[in-house]
Amino acid sequence: MVFPVVGGDGKPTGYEISNSFRFDDASSSFLQRTNGANTGEDNATLSFWFKIGNLKGANNGGTIFCEGNTSGDHVMQIYANKIYIGSENFSLMYPNLIRDPSAWYHLFVAFDSTQGTAANRVKPYLNGVLLENPTTFTTYPDQNENLNITKNGTTTRIGGRGNSGDESFDGYLAEFHYLDGTTKAYTDFGEFNDNGVWIPKKYIGGSYGDNGFFLEFKQTGGSADASGLGADTSGEGHHFSGDNVVGATDVTTDTPTNNFAILLPNGLINSNGDFATFDGNTRFIGDGSDGWNTTHASLGFSKGKWYWEQKFTQVTGSASFAGLVKDDVNHSDNDISGQDDSEGVLYYATGSYMFGSSGTYVSGGASFGNSWGDAGDIISVAADLDNNKMYFAKNGTYQGSGNPSTGSNGLPISEGAQGLVSGSFNFVFPYAGAYYANDGCEFNFGNPSFSISSGNSDANGYGNFEYAVPTGFYALCTKNLAEYG
């Protein structure tokens, strides 16, 4: 069974999703509202898009939709590659479905307890494909039984139950519909494009009912109203308030129709040291003993000009860097991965620029550029694969008199037998690395998890950066990759 995932162009209807909401499990963030009176709940429809941050392994983990408070009934969870759907009256589990944290998925569930066949009372579709034969939990609602998903006086929570750790969802949600009292078709919310990929479709059917809602995450206000981050745009006025959410930095433009790069989490990278990712896989921290903790971005490139920023949260002993790495890098190498076998090009906190192949320096010490390492330092990276040049800026000032906009004084990505171009590769990736435990940085590929004081986008209008994007360079997202990558 194939579940094609999205993040690009090629939409028959041309429908675009502009925003998503980023949930952070470390903050136990969630949205909530109190349900009103319900005239009957034997029918309902649930439809939303999601992109996993930290995939939970424990029971009760990854709560996306909950009826009740900290001990309430899970309606929707995603953990250990499984999808759980339930309430106090039914429980169903579908295993081995969610494997890719870099991809957007669509989940649709049609609830109709009036159906004579039990399996037709809860019908879930993942990316337009019907899920069948649940395992572990296999209890369907009784015929004509109230579903009890949004009961009068209870609290609906999106993103968690209010408990910490594995209970909370970590990742992105977009285009979140809940229709109370009516059952719709999955084709009302999505369609397959010419390449067989399931993509969003604008829902125009109305009928949200007593406790229904539609969350588009276009606002950043803190109140439960039309200007709030939990604004209900269904017309019903069922707005949500936020708990442990930041607002402006939690509302992002990483969506199913324009997928932005994130960092690959631990478990998908065979890092020599242990690390953790947070804030939808945009923040990287070494969480074990000292040792090289390394990972790279989910999106790579082999041509074009690309820009991103790295805000360092802690740097110990100058043992951190920014740069590029090849697609076949060995992250389990005891040495820093980019130093060996022409695998990477790096700018160290010492101010040194380093090629691969046994750590050959282009220039020693601080002669390339300024050292950095204060918490809050932002390193801008501009990688020009078309002209084999690399540029680094510290807090907005490009080092070595480089100017990526004009192409002057760029550092070579390869030199002689050194660097990436000397070896074979399919793609290169933005790279994260730190040696000491608790060192790390926040990556900004265009949707920062940290506050931006200025706000700059690329020439296509994508991204939100602290510093100006150089002329001709672009944020690392699927729309730009489709055009330039």
> How far is residue 45's CA from residue 159's CA, in Å, rounded to a whole number?
18
Run of H or E residues at 482: helix 478-484
In angstroms, the Cα distances linking 292 to 272, 332, 353, 358 are: 6, 9, 18, 16
Residue pair 336/431 in contact by the 8 Å Cβ criterion: no
Token pair of 161 as six digits: 């139950």
Which pair of structure tokens corresponds to residue 464?
A: 């939100």
Place of tokens 């604008």: 202
pLDDT of residue 144: 94
CB of 321 within 8 A of CB of 433? yes
Q: What is the pLDDT of residues 61-120, one digit of tens each?
A: 688 998 876 666 778 888 878 899 998 889 999 987 788 889 999 999 999 999 999 999
Choice among 1-5, 104-108, 206-210 with the minimum mean pLDDT: 1-5
Give the pLDDT band (50/70/90) at residue 285. confident
Q: Give the whole-angstrom CA distance, residue 165 versus residue 104.
A: 23
- CA-based end-to-end distance of the chain: 30
The pLDDT, as a whole number, for residue 366 is 40
Residue 59 is predicted with a pLDDT of: 62
Lowest mean pLDDT among 26-30, 47-51, 210-214: 26-30
DSSP string, 351-369: S-EE-STTT-EEE-TTSSS
Any idea which of 199-213, 245-259, 274-288, 463-477 has the lowest mean pLDDT? 274-288
pLDDT, tens digit (0-9, with 9 covering 90-100), for 368-379: 788 888 889 999
Split at pLDDT 50, 70, 90, the class of 148 is: confident
Which of 172, 295, 262, 194 shows the shortest CA–CA distance to 445? 262
Half-sphere exposure of 153 (CA within 13 A, CB side): 0
* pLDDT tier at 125, thresholds 50, 70, 90: very high
Q: What is the dihedral of CA 216, 24, 103, 301, to 10 degrees?
A: 110
CA distance 15 to 61: 32
Gap between the Cα atoms of 355 and 412, Å rounded: 9
286 or 267, greater pLDDT = 286
- Classify each residue of 299-312 as buried b or exposed e, where b means 16 or more C-beta atoms within 10 Å of its C-beta: bbbeebbbbbbbbb
- Whole-number pLDDT of residue 5: 52
Q: Which of 259, 265, 258, 219 is nearest to 240 (CA)?
A: 219
Q: Choose among 404, 433, 165, 149: nearest CA to 316.
A: 433
Torsion 199-204-210-214 (CA) sign: positive
Integer-rounded Cα Rg, in Å, for the chain is 23
Average pLDDT over residues 272-286: 84
Domains of the chain: residue spans and CATH: 20-252 (2.60.120.200), 275-484 (2.60.120.920)
Return the pLDDT at 60: 60
- For residue 263, the 8-state DSSP code is B
CB 189 within 8 A of CB 200: yes
Q: Is the pLDDT of residue 240 over 60?
A: yes
pLDDT at 79: 81
Tell me the pTM: 0.93
- Proportion of the chain in helix, strand, coil states, percent, rounded to 5: 5, 35, 60
Q: How far from 309 is each of 35, 441, 467, CA to CA, in Å?
A: 42, 10, 9
Is residue 287 a contact partner of residue 274, using CB atoms and an 8 Å limit? yes
Q: Where are the beta strands (DSSP E) in 402-458?
A: 411-412, 414-415, 418-419, 428-434, 440-444
Residue 417, pLDDT score: 64
* 246 phi, psi to nearest 5 deg: -100, -15
pLDDT at 271 over 80: no
- In DSSP terms, which residues pair with 394 in a beta bridge? 379, 397
How long is the chain?
A: 485
The per-residue pLDDT for 385 is: 92
Task: Evaluate if residue 24 carries a pLDDT over 80.
Answer: yes
User: 79 or 480, which is more confident?
Assistant: 480
Residue 297: is its pLDDT beyond 50? yes
Mean pLDDT of the chain: 86
Which tokens belong to 221? Answer: 């206000």
Contact between 310 and 347 under an 8 Å Cβ cutoff? The reply is: no
Strand partners, 297: 263
What's the Cα-to-Cα distance from 429 to each of 104, 377, 465, rounded to whole Å? 20, 21, 19
Residues 367 and 345: their CA atoms lie apart, in Å, by 17
In the block, residue with structure tokens 């009103």? 36
pLDDT for 342: 64
Query: Helices H, strands E: what count in the chain?
Result: 1, 34
